[in-house]
Amino acid sequence: MAGNTFGTLFKLTTFGESHGIALGGVIDGCPAGLVIDEAFIQSELDKRKPGQSRITTQRKEADKVEFLSGIFEGKTTGTPIGFTIYNTNEKSKDYDHIKDSFRPSHADFTYEAKYGHRDYRGGGRSSARETASRVVGGAIAKLILKHYNININAYVTQAGKLKLDNPYTFYNLEDTYNNPARCPDEKMAQQMFDYIDEIRKEGDTIGGITTCVVKGCPIGLGSPVFDRLEADLAKAMLSINATKGFEIGSGFNGVNLKGSEHNDEFYTEGDFIKTKTNNSGGVQGGISNGEDIYFNVAFKPVATIMKPQNSIDKNGKNVIVNGKGRHDPCVLPRAIAIVEAMAAMVILDHLLINKTTTL
Ligand SMILES: Cc1cc2nc3c(=O)[nH]c(=O)nc-3n(C[C@H](O)[C@H](O)[C@H](O)COP(=O)(O)O)c2cc1C
Ligand SMILES: C=C(O[C@@H]1CC(C(=O)O)=C[C@@H](OP(=O)(O)O)[C@H]1O)C(=O)O
């Protein structure tokens, strides 16, 4: 099956299914000599893992990563980094009822139609459990980006009908990872928590938006044509399960402004060329301009709801699918870790590409 590898020079291949023995991956192209801070990598995994609070899936996984290769005496050797995360808390019986039928808006139908043989347990390969391996790749990318003072933070700015008026502003993000809704505004975080919990009790689900900000990105990442930085970010974000939208800078709202209002005026600050506004979101002509890169990613409401739904089975017969198992009422609080990881891998990949293509 194609499509299991991400990246050009810093490459991540993932393997594993939600109810298989283990997940894992191989990272190829990581420079030698990087000190591997396992506690940091684990803390990134902890931001994504299931079972974190009442408003996430109740599946309990430690998501403890075990490195198999590519690291010696605590540093990378430049060879492929293999790693595994074992599955320990699957409850596969919860999925017997969808062995031959399809949950509306999950991947059951398309997977069956395309491959004709499907691991229906927990959605198999199409489960977002796979994204744990992406977080390992992203954490290693972040360790390299720290050497360049590049920081990446994602946080929840909308959960269903509740949204922050000013998603892209200065937030002290220190405490955001400790609040279960992962919204940087304390009051809104509590409202989001209560709302998601209420939706969960109804057996329903909601979607939302995460905003991601990349600070410290140098000028010059990305190409003027196909590998435009925003195009690579868009692909990375839309490769995450349940995403439905990506916008950078002014995004869809930009259409409401005139050019005279939208253009980002240049000025100089010492030796630096800066822009007064940042409607471009830090990317112009496909290339980073040194301003903050900021973008939004929209996630749909979770497909598996705890309510009966009309569907069909493999033979086209009408069936009722009842929601079973442990599911997220809203993916946003956990999705921030995946958004950060994918952004880190894109930015690092472009840094490495620049090292081989510019003087
Ligand atoms: C962090 C995260 C958690 C998710 N949890 C669930 C879940 O518990 N139940 C579910 O039905 N879908 C869940 N999803 C969404 C499915 O993985 C996704 O709908 C499925 O892979 C089909 O892909 P699509 O929605 O992009 O078409 C989750 C997605 C993410 C990113
Ligand atoms: C296990 C995780 O989330 C899972 C993502 C998921 C889905 O359909 O995407 C459905 C549920 O799967 P399961 O019934 O197999 O537990 C979630 O719990 C995880 O993210 O690690």
For position 349, what pLDDT does the model report?
98
Name the band, by pLDDT with cuts 50, 70 and 90, for residue 257.
very high
DSSP annotation of 89: -
Count of all residues that appear for the chain in the document: 359
Please name the residue that has the structure tokens 């969808």.
98
Q: Please tell me the distance between residue 254's alpha carbon and the centre of ligand 1 in angstroms.
A: 29
Structure token digits, residue 147: 């050497």
Structural domain containing residue 89: 5-357
The arithmetic mean of pLDDT across residues 188-196, rounded, is 97
Q: Are strands 309-312 and 81-86 parallel, antiparallel or unpaired?
A: unpaired
Task: Read off the pLDDT band of 169 (50, 70, 90).
Answer: confident
Question: Region 232-242: what's the mean pLDDT?
Answer: 98
pLDDT digits 0-9 by tens, 2-56 = 899 999 999 999 999 999 999 999 999 999 999 999 999 999 999 999 999 999 9
pLDDT in tens, 175-189: 888 899 999 999 999
The span from the CA of 238 to the CA of 339, in Å, is 10
> Residue 1: what pLDDT?
81
101 is in an annotated binding site: no
Q: Are 162 and 191 in contact (CB under 8 A)?
A: yes
59-100 residue pLDDT tens: 999 999 999 999 999 999 999 999 999 999 999 999 999 999
Q: Which ligand 1 atom lies nearest to the CA of residue 126?
A: 21
CA 355 to CA 70: how far, in whole Å?
22
Three-state DSSP state, 265: coil
pLDDT of residue 30: 98
CATH number at residue 293: 3.60.150.10
- Closest ligand 2 atom, residue 19 Cα: 15
Q: 34, 145 in Cβ contact below 8 A?
A: no
Beta bridge partners of 268: 273
pLDDT tens string 202-227 = 999 999 999 999 999 999 999 999 99
CA 18 to centroid of ligand 2, rounded, Å: 7
Q: Which atom of ligand 2 is nearest to the CA of 303?
A: 8
Atom 13 of ligand 2, nearest CA residue: 122
- Grade residue 173 by pLDDT with cuts at 50, 70 and 90: confident
User: Which protein residues touch ligand 2 with a CB less than 6 Å away?
Assistant: 18-19, 50, 57, 59, 61, 122-123, 127-129, 132, 241, 325-327
326 annotated among ligand-binding-site residues: yes
Distance from Cα 133 to the centre of ligand 2, integer Å: 14
Q: Which atom of ligand 1 is least distant from the CA of 244?
A: 26
112 Cα–ligand 2 center, Å: 19
Give the chain's mean pLDDT.
Answer: 97
How far is C-alpha 257 from the geometric centre of its chain's CA atoms?
Answer: 30
| Nearest in space to 127 (alpha carbons), one of 271, 17, 239 | 17
- C-alpha span between 237 and 6 (Å, rounded): 12
Strand intervals (E) in the chain: 5-6, 11-16, 22-28, 65-67, 71-72, 75-76, 81-86, 151-159, 162-163, 208-215, 243-248, 266-269, 272-275, 283-284, 287-288, 293-299, 309-312, 318-321
- Quick check: ipTM above 0.90? yes
Q: Is 278 exposed, middle or buried (0-12, 13-18, 19+ CB in 10 A)?
A: middle
Distance CA 196, CA 3 (A): 33
Centre of ligand 1 to C-alpha 102, Å, is 14
Whether the CB of 98 sits within 6 Å of ligand 1: no
What's the structural domain count of the chain? 1
Angle CA 348–135–299, to nearest 5: 100
pLDDT band at 244 (very low <50, low <70, confident <90, very high): very high
Quick one: pLDDT band at residue 172, thresholds 50, 70, 90?
confident
Pairing of strands 293-299, 243-248: antiparallel
